[in-house]
Amino acid sequence: MKIGIIGSGGREHAICQILKNSNKVTEIFCFPGNAGTANIAENINLDFNDFENLKNFILEKEIDLVVVGPEKPLVDGIVDYLEKFNIKTFGPNKIASQLEGSKIFTKKLCEKFNIPTAKFGIFYNKLDAKKFTETINFPTVIKADNLASGKGVYICNNKKETNVAIDEIFDGKFGDAKNLLIEEFLEGEEMSYFIISDGKTIKSFETAQDHKRVLEGDRGKNTGGMGAYSPSRLITEELEKKILNKIIKPTLNGINDLKTHYKGFLYAGLMIVDNEPFLIEYNIRMGDPECQTILPKLKTDLFEIFMACCNQKLNEINIEWSNKKSLCIVLCSKGYPDTYKKNVEIKNLDKINLNSDNYLFHAGTSENDKKIYAVGGRVLNFVSLSDDFKNSKNNIERNLYKLNWDGGFYRKDIGYKVID
């Protein structure tokens, strides 16, 4: 079977690598891919936002399944477009993708179906938003409504910080902003919970704990993710039941209420407060770097899972996982998440020790004349599986030491809550 993977990050490299392990997969095309996927697939330099060109290539090459990695093409309706041409595509349609495309859409759905979430207000201009912040307690949370690559969230501790957040959002830092959300600050612990759905059947798809802040001790600016570990230390059978019954199932019922269904991965960003789950936000795809952390633990053929999902036969699949502990550390360009240098060469990659329990997934990289260059903020994802998180972290740090890349940095405390 021929597979097409849309995207160019670490998540897409991980999906590509795990699909490559399937004996049913004969050829993989990545649109556009990166320096890592180039070793195991054919990178195609096509703009995946140009749906027509993409469709023509898929039909010409007779690709059997397309997997959409990033959120933007999903929100823009790529699944709806490709399926019009009978192209089997894994991912939610345009309506269902509003769960990530619009935070206000999701908040209103939570309100209608009594899904636990932070109290919130919606504001359509600077003046009203700033007036409201004069009446609230701090800290508070301000969010851009539209897609912001995980960075459009501000935790504000005073009036000055709220003014900066409101100005930056309405001034277009995260694209055209017609509104924003101001939310109650929930005190608890964050957790990432994943499911996969074919529109009829829901299957849990492991848990992970992300590290969003750029600095050790969970300080500094929000990022797309500096590292993660799986499973989450918070998950219990009781908590999982609450997540499914109070959050996931009512959400999917809400999507069904819109005369459509949800097909694909759904990632619930949760805050656990006194063992009660509250929804922070939804992502309509696997998280990054959670995907890189979780997929190496998968024992079931990922291709078969995707096909079963597209054919509404997910109930026939038993998804099995390794019991090993997985940890991921993201190596970033110096300066991230602000300004950073691009096209910085990365040497010593041949010194990295990789095997069935140790992985290196490329994110912001490109290849030119057999040399690898950093072209993004998050550059490489180091993942290790072992019997405990401490060993996993030690394995990664040995590889980071061998790489010795002075153009980058990483958080040295990933997994600190599960490592003594």
* SS (HEC) of the chain: CEEEEEECCHHHHHHHHHHHCCCCCCEEEEEECCCCHHHCCEECCCCCCCHHHHHHHHHHHCCCEEEECCHHHHHCCHHHHHHCCCCCEECCCCCCCHHHHCHHHHHHHHHHCCCCECCEEEECCHHHHHHHHCCCCCCEEEEECCCCCCCCEEEECCHHHHHHHHHHHHCCECECCCCEEEEECCCCEEEEEEEEEECCCEEEEEEEEECCEEECCCEEEECCCCEEEECCCCCCHHHHHHHHHHHHHHHHHHHHCCCCCCEEEEEEEEEEECCEEEEEEEECCCCCCHHHHHHHHECCCHHHHHHHHHCCCHHHCCCCECCCEEEEEEEEECCCCCCCCCCEEECCHHHCCCECCEEEEECCEEEECCEEEECCCEEEEEEEEECCHHHHHHHHHHHHHHHCCCCEECCCCCCCCCCC
d(CA 337, CA 376): 10
Give domain status of residue 99, yes or no.
no
* Tens digit of each residue's pLDDT (9 = 90 or more) over 109-145: 999 999 999 988 999 999 999 998 888 889 999 998 8
Do 333 and 250 have their domain in common? no
Give domain status of residue 85, yes or no.
yes
Torsion angle of the four alpha carbons 406, 70, 97, 77, in this order, in degrees rounded to the nearest 10: 140
Do 226 and 278 have their domain in common? yes
**75-80 average pLDDT score:** 97
**90-100 average pLDDT score:** 97
List beta partners, residue 175.
173
**92-102 average pLDDT score:** 95
Do 193 and 307 have their domain in common? yes
* Tens digit of each residue's pLDDT (9 = 90 or more) over 146-164: 776 666 888 899 999 999 9
**Domain CATH for 376:** 3.90.600.10
Give domain status of residue 102, yes or no.
no
Give domain status of residue 111, yes or no.
no
Do 234 and 305 have their domain in common? yes
More confident: 47 or 135: 47
250: preceding bond cis by omega (within 30 degrees):
no
Do 312 and 195 have their domain in common? yes
Local confidence band at 299 (pLDDT 50, 70, 90 cut-offs): very high
Do 138 and 219 have their domain in common? no
* Tens digit of each residue's pLDDT (9 = 90 or more) over 224-252: 999 999 999 999 999 999 999 999 999 99
| Domain C-terminal end among 257, 282, 316 | 316
Do 358 and 385 have their domain in common? yes
Give domain status of residue 262, yes or no.
yes
92: preceding bond cis by omega (within 30 degrees):
no
pLDDT at 91: 98
**33-48 average pLDDT score:** 96
pLDDT at 177: 72
Do 231 and 296 have their domain in common? yes
Does residue 389 surpass a pLDDT of 90? yes
Do 15 and 43 have their domain in common? yes
* Tens digit of each residue's pLDDT (9 = 90 or more) over 300-329: 999 999 999 999 999 999 999 999 999 999
Give domain status of residue 402, yes or no.
yes
The proportion of the chain whose per-residue pLDDT surpasses 90, expressed as a percent, equals 88
**How large is the C-alpha radius of gyration of the chain?**
21
**Domain CATH for 43:** 3.40.50.20
| Domain C-terminal end among 184, 204, 225 | 184
Do 260 and 292 have their domain in common? yes
Do 306 and 208 have their domain in common? yes
Quote the domain boundaries for residue 51.
2-94
pLDDT at 348: 95
Indicate the burial class of 289 (C-beta count within 10 angstroms; 0-12, 13-18, 19 or more): buried
| Domain C-terminal end among 161, 184, 207 | 184
Please count the structural domains in the chain. Answer: 4
Do 310 and 347 have their domain in common? no
**Domain CATH for 178:** 3.30.1490.20
Query: In Å, how far from its chain's centre is CA 80?
Result: 21
Give domain status of residue 101, yes or no.
no
Mean pLDDT in the chain? Answer: 94
pLDDT at 149: 60
Q: What is the CB neighbour count within 10 angstroms for residue 419?
A: 17
* Tens digit of each residue's pLDDT (9 = 90 or more) over 259-268: 999 999 999 9
Give domain status of residue 109, yes or no.
no
The proportion of the chain whose per-residue pLDDT surpasses 70, expressed as a percent, equals 99
